[in-house]
Chain A
Amino acid sequence: MSHRGLSTFVISVVLFLGNSFVSAQENASWMRTQTLSNALNPNISVIGDFVGTAGPRESEGSNRFALREAELGFQANVDPYARADVFAGWHEGEALELEEAYVTLLALPLALQARGGKFRANFGRLNMIHPHELPQVDQPLVLERYLGGDGLNSAGFEVSRVFGPFGLFTEFSYAVLNDLGGAHEHGEEAGQTVFVNARDGNGNLIVDGNGTPVEIPVTVREEEEPVKRSVRNFAHVGRVRFYRDMTDTANVELGLSGVLHQPEGHEQRRMAGADVTFRWKPLRRGLYRSFLWRTEGVYSTRKLEAVSDLSGAVTAPEMEVDRRGFYSYVELQPARRWRFGLRGDYVEDPEAKDEVLRKADGTTFQVSRSITRAISPVVTFTLSEFNRFRAQYQCKRLPDRETENIGYLQWTTILGPHGAHPF
C-alpha cells in the first residue's frame, strides 16, 4: 500500500470511527431519553386464563379447551391525587372488551376515597375480584345467577370511607351506577331471537304431552334510549365491611351489602347480601400453611316484566319473585405450592316460580323455586407467583333432579410487574 493509499485508509477509519462514536453517543442519549420517558408509562400486565371443560355434551362450552380470557391491565398514578386502573379482556370468539376503567381519588379529606368510571361494584366479597383470581375455576353459582356472568359491573361513581373505632376496621361504600351491568347476562344480543319457557296467565309453566316445557321465541329488546332515562334508572350499591384480628394469626371479616335498582320499564331488582370470612395463617411459616373459610348469601327480589311472544301476546304476566342462594367454601394450604378446597352451592333461580311439571308417564312433580345444588372439590398447584394450575370437579343437581358432572382444568399465567398479593 502506498503512503497516499495508507493515509486515505487511516482517514477513512478515523472518520468512520468518529461517526460511529458520535452515533453511539446519540444512540445512548436517545436510549436514555427513551428509558426515562418510559419510566412514567403505566405498569402493563397481561394475564392469560386458559380453561378446559369436560361435561355433558349438550352443555354450552363443554368438552373443549378455551382461552377463557386474556386480560390486559394498565395501572399508574395519574398525579399526586389519583390513580388510574384500566382492564380490557379478550374472550375467545369475542371482540376485545373494556372490563374496567376507573380513576380513584386518593387524597380526599375525612379519610374518603372516591372512584369514577366503569368498575366492578363493591357488592359482596367476590364481585370485585377478577375471574382469574377467584378461589375456584368457576364463579359461585349464586353470584353467577344473581349478579351475572360478568358481575355487577357498570359505569358510575363510588365513594367510600374507612373508620377504625377501637381498632375495628370499618369501611362504608356507596355507589351510584348506570345499571347493574350484565343486563343480557346469558350472552344474548339486543335484537336476537331467543327461546324461553312459555307460561300461562298465572305464570305457570306450559308443558307438552311429555311434560317438557314448551319454548317460544322472543326478541331481546334493545336498550332503552338514554334520553328516556330518569334518575330512577340509576342503580344504587352499598356495602359495609368489618374486619378484626382475633389473634396475630387469625382474623374474621363480615360484610353486608345491598343493591337497589328500580328503573322505569325494566326489570326491577333489590338484593341484600351477607358474607363472612375466617382466615388463619401463621406469621412465621405463612408461606407454607393457611386456612380460609368463607360463606356468602344473597337474597334477591325481582319484579319481572310480562313476557310476550313475537305476535305480542303475553305469555307470562308481570310478577315479583323472592329468591335466595349462598355458597360456602373452605381452602386448606398444607404445603407451599398446594391448596385444597371444597365449595358447596345452593341457588334458587332468581326468575323462576314454584311450579309443577309433568313427566312423560303422566306423573307430576314439583319444582320448588328451581333449586340447583352443587358440590365442588378443587385442587390448586402454584408453580410460582406468576403461574398457577387448578383442577376442579363439580357435581351439580339441577332443578329437574338431573345430575350434571363437570370437570375443569385451569392454567393462569401472569406477565408483567409484581402486583399486590390477594387477601
Chain B
Amino acid sequence: MKNWMGLLLGAVLAAPGSLLAAKPLNVFTTTADLADVVRAVGGERVRVESLSKGYQDAHFVEAKPSLIVKLMSADLFIQTGLELEAGWATVLVQGSRNSRIQLGAPGYLDASSAVKPLEVPQNPDRAMGDVHPGGNPHYMLDPENVRLVAREIAKRLSSLSPADSAFFRERLGNFEVRLEENLRKWKERMEPFRGARFVSYHRNLPYFADRFGLISVGEVEPKPGIPPTAAHTADLIGRMKAEKVGLIITQPYYEDRSPASIAKQTGATVVVFSMAPSGEPGGSDYFSNMDANIESVRRALAAAAGTK
C-alpha cells in the first residue's frame, strides 16, 4: 500500500513537469530556409512554420492579417534581417501584440547577427537601386553561414527552453556533421567549375559564388530592384559574349522573358535557382534544395564548357 501511495505521489509531482516538457516551442520564421534549420535543430521540441513559401520573393511578402494571427502564439520569431523583410516583418510582429517576440525580447532573433555580411555599402544611396545598407541579405546560400545561424538558433532555443538544451545541442551536432559532409560533396562537385562566370537576375548570389568559386559578370537588373532596360540588356549581352558566359541564374519569382531572350542571343543556359526549400520540385529541405541547385548549376556549366 505504501509503495502504491509513493508511486501515485511521484506520478502527480512529475506530471506538470512532463506536461511542460511535452509542449513544443512555437517558432515562426520569415523564410523557409530558416524554418528548415529550426526543424533540424529543434526536432519534435519545436513547432515551426515559415511565413513565406520557398518560391516567394522574401522581400515582397504581403503583411496579411492571417500571418498576424499566427504570430500571436509565437514563442520565437526569426527573420533573415539586413532589410530583406523590411516591407512586412515589423508590421506583423508589432501587429501581433505578442510581447514575447517584440524587438529586444528573448523571442525575437535576427539571424543576420550570426554572420558577417558581404557587400556592405560604404555610402548607401538610393541611386544605387534598392540597396541593403546592412549588406547583402542572401547569406543562407553559403553553408558556412548556415552553420553559424544554426548555432545561434540552438542557443536561442536553449535559452527559451533550458530543459531541452542538451537535446538541441545534440541535434545541432548532428546537423553540423551532415552539413560538413554535404559541403564537402558540393565543393567536390563544383570544383571543376571554379572560376566559371555567370549572370544572375538579381544580385543575390555573392555568398554562393564566394563559397564555390564562381565569378559574377553582372545582373539582368540594371540595379537592385530596377526592372531590366533595353540598353542595359544590350550591354549585358555584349559582356556575356565577350567573356563567354554560359550560365544565367534566375529565381522562380522573376519573369522568364528577359533571361530567355538573353539566353537566346548568347547561347547561355537559364537555371532556375531556388533561394529556399520547396521553391522548386526536388528541394523539400535545405540539403535537397542545395543539392538540386548545385546539380542544375553544374549541368549548365558542363554544357557550356562542352559547347564553347
Contacts and interface: CB of A to CB of B under 8 A. Distances in A.
Interface stretch (B58-66, B168-176, B262-270): B58-66
A7 B227 CA distance: 63
Interface of A: 77, 80, 83, 104, 106-108, 111-113, 161-162, 164, 167-169, 171, 241, 243-245, 248, 251, 253, 281, 283-288, 336-337, 384-386, 415, 417-421, 423
B192 interface: no
B86 interface: yes
26 contacts: A80-B104, A106-B102, A162-B97, A167-B69, A168-B69, A241-B65, A243-B66, A245-B66, A251-B66, A283-B56, A284-B56, A285-B253, A286-B56, A286-B57, A336-B227, A384-B130, A384-B226, A386-B126, A418-B86, A418-B87, A419-B87, A420-B87, A420-B88, A421-B60, A423-B62, A423-B63
A243 B253 contact: no
B88 A164 contact: no
B97 A385 contact: no
B97 A108 contact: yes
A317 B302 CA distance: 88
A287 B95 contact: no
A75 B254 CA distance: 32
Interface string B53-87: 10111001011111011001000000000010011
Nearest to A421: B87
Contact of A420 (B55, B56, B90, B255): B90
A111 B72 contact: yes
B103 A77 contact: yes
A243 B67 CA distance: 11
B296 interface: no
B7 interface: no
Given A107-B99, A420-B91, 8 more contacts: A113-B97, A162-B97, A164-B72, A167-B69, A285-B255, A386-B126, A420-B63, A423-B91
Contacts, number: 101
A107 B87 contact: no
Given A107-B99, A111-B72, A171 B65 contact: yes
Interface in B189-238: 225-227
B: contact size bracket: 35 or more
A420 B129 CA distance: 17
Given A112-B97, A386-B126, A420-B90, A80 B65 contact: no
A169 B130 CA distance: 32
A283 B72 contact: no
B284 interface: no
B98 to A, nearest CB: 7
Given A336-B227, A418-B86, A287 B68 contact: no
B9 interface: no
Nearest to A284: B55
B225 A385 contact: yes
Contact of A384 (B102, B225, B255): B225
- 10 closest residue pairs by CB, A with B: A164-B69, A421-B87, A169-B65, A243-B65, A418-B86, A107-B99, A111-B97, A420-B91, A245-B66, A423-B63
Contacts of B254: 287
A106 to B, nearest CB: 6
B169 to A, nearest CB: 29
A244 B66 CA distance: 7
B53 A283 contact: yes
A245 B97 contact: no
A83 B97 CA distance: 12
A241 B66 CA distance: 12
Given A80-B105, A107-B99, A169 B66 contact: yes
Nearest to A166: B69
B57 to A, nearest CB: 6
Contacts of A112: 97
